[in-house]
Chain A
Amino acid sequence: MFIQIKDLSKNYNNYLAVNKINFNIEENKTVGLLGPNGCGKTTTIGMILGLVTPSNGKIIIENKDISKMNRDQILNRFNFASPYVELPKKLTVKQNLEIYGRLYGIKNLNKRIDEISLDLDIKNFFDRKTGELSSGQKNRVSLAKSLINKPEILLLDEPTASLDPDIGDFIRSYIQDYKSKNKVTILLASHNMNEVERLCDSVIMMKKGKIIDRGTCETLITKHGRNNLEETFLKLARSKDEF
């Protein structure tokens, strides 16, 4: 198993944000992390990224506990994108990609920046300050930053939140296409159920810090007798029981 989450918990002053969760992610698969606001998705992502220290439990990558691994080595293999995390607004798109490319120690950086900016169609606003871009443009730049190091593990937190349908579709298509051409394992937190159905090989449903169900989209929809993932999500989010 590529990523193993074992009995992972986070307790903030007697508030249990994440409660002994266990899940595995196979290499090159995309797993959706779903659940209502405040269910512990961001805390879980934060713990995987090393931004939050777990209260209990382990995060294991290729059979190695990441708490015992060198921070640089592990973070070189990761990246993350979220519309809630921005790049320096006063720097141009090119400057931001250059700086993050250097921080990730990318060789042939100019070539990599060229590749990724052509793929994500960001070249035409390369010299504009990031803060002056539209949400859709910022989102593509943020995705470019998250792929600059060709991460083996990509964490995406609502990558298409607040985007119009056209740009949202562009991002989803790009992620699909990128995944088909590159080895990458993705953990995707999203509230867009169409996006999850389209991109994820399986999903994990969280509620109040716990995993309440898991499986492929089809099996969950069938299991709960609903027509689509959105209805299944609503049933699980409003239910009192663990499934």
Chain B
Amino acid sequence: MNFSKIYALGLRHLYLIMNSFPRILDLIYWPTVQIFLWGFISKFFTLNSEYYNNTVGVILTAAILYDFLFRASISFNMMFLEEIWSRNFTNLFIAPIRIREIIAALTLTAILRTLIGLVPAVIIAIPLFGVSVLSLGIPLIFLLISLYLFGITLGLLVTSGLLRYGPSFENIAWASLFFLAPLGCIYYPIEILPDLLQIIAKGLPLVHIFEEMRNILMTGSVSYLNIFKSISISIIYFIFGVIVFYISYFGAKKRGTLINMGE
């Protein structure tokens, strides 16, 4: 790994953000709207639901964590799409940068995009709804790591599709997370799902992450086994995502699609 090349590619995306105030505004706008929407829903449930009445902010915390996953994945996809939209693909792939360095650069830069979007929204939630994700304590770090790895994995799978099918795969990029959300048990316990879907859902890290989040907020206890499960599953998916990305890259070279990739 050459870190100066990873830095160079990260800098490309940092400049892109810094050069455009509307782009920064766009990054902040959607998470903030989400927080407002789920904040009011959360408040309503807190006042009217027996299940949630002792755990102010379970839904809002779930919304914040889900948005973290969503932003991580979309950030990864967006940075890859930027290269396609700007017709910079060929320049990037003939530069002496390895594929693993491209993946590393996108993964590390996605954190920045995610945080620019989410930090203001998280701060707003504290005075407005009296909810802070920091109340999850130290386990929050592990839950975020697991979510981030899974978000990047989804980004890798979507970008693999972009390499394989070209820009027409773009719509899938936006839809990818909504497809998995029902199985992620973000806002409800896994028992709500039919038995068969429960088996599938347990194969995703999301269930373990959000179940553990609810467990911490509602009982005050921490199950490190659940956290370990979620991180382990996320790592397995991440490795799978990297392999799929490499297969797609070599497939694209074989089909000659890298040379004319553009809008």
How many of B's residues come within 8 Å of A, CB to CB?
Answer: 34
Bound complex: CA of A105 vs CA of B59, how far in Å?
Answer: 48
- A92 B5 Cβ-Cβ under 8 A: no
Bound complex: CA of A88 vs CA of B90, how far in Å?
Answer: 12
* Complex partner residue of A88 from B7, B86, B256, CB under 8 angstroms: B86
| Residues of chain B within 8 A of A85, CB atoms compared | 87-91
- A105 B91 Cβ-Cβ under 8 A: no
Closest to B23 in A: A90
Q: Which one of A19-27, A72-80, A176-184 is at the B interface?
A: A72-80
- B19 A90 Cβ-Cβ under 8 A: yes
- B88 A86 Cβ-Cβ under 8 A: yes
| Residues of chain B within 8 A of A38, CB atoms compared | none
User: In this assembly, does A12 line the interface, its C-beta being within 8 Å of a C-beta of chain B?
Assistant: yes
* Complex partner residue of B96 from A52, A87, A103, CB under 8 angstroms: A103
Q: How far is the CB of B107 from chain A (nearest CB, A)?
A: 17
Q: How far is the CB of B166 from chain A (nearest CB, A)?
A: 14
User: In this assembly, does A228 line the interface, its C-beta being within 8 Å of a C-beta of chain B?
Assistant: no
List the interface of chain A (C-beta within 8 A of B).
10, 12, 17, 42-43, 46, 49-53, 71-73, 75-76, 78-80, 82, 84-92, 95, 98-100, 102-105, 129, 131, 145
Q: How far is the CB of A19 from chain B (nearest CB, A)?
A: 15
User: In this assembly, does B250 line the interface, its C-beta being within 8 Å of a C-beta of chain A?
Assistant: yes
Secondary structure dominating the interface of B: helix
The 5 closest A-B pairs by CB, nearest first: A102-B8, A75-B96, A46-B259, A86-B87, A72-B96
A87 with B19, Cβ < 8 A, contacts A53-B253, A71-B98, A105-B96 known: no
- A75 B253 Cβ-Cβ under 8 A: no
Bound complex: CA of A79 vs CA of B259, how far in Å?
Answer: 14
- B94 A50 Cβ-Cβ under 8 A: yes
- A103 B256 Cβ-Cβ under 8 A: no
Closest to B93 in A: A51
- A52 B253 Cβ-Cβ under 8 A: yes
A103 with B8, Cβ < 8 A, contacts A51-B253, A87-B88 known: yes
Bound complex: CA of A53 vs CA of B12, how far in Å?
Answer: 28
Closest to B16 in A: A90
User: In this assembly, does B11 line the interface, its C-beta being within 8 Å of a C-beta of chain A?
Assistant: yes
13 A-B contact pairs sorted by A residue (CB < 8 Å)? A17-B256, A50-B94, A51-B253, A52-B259, A72-B98, A75-B96, A79-B94, A80-B94, A86-B88, A92-B19, A95-B15, A102-B5, A103-B9
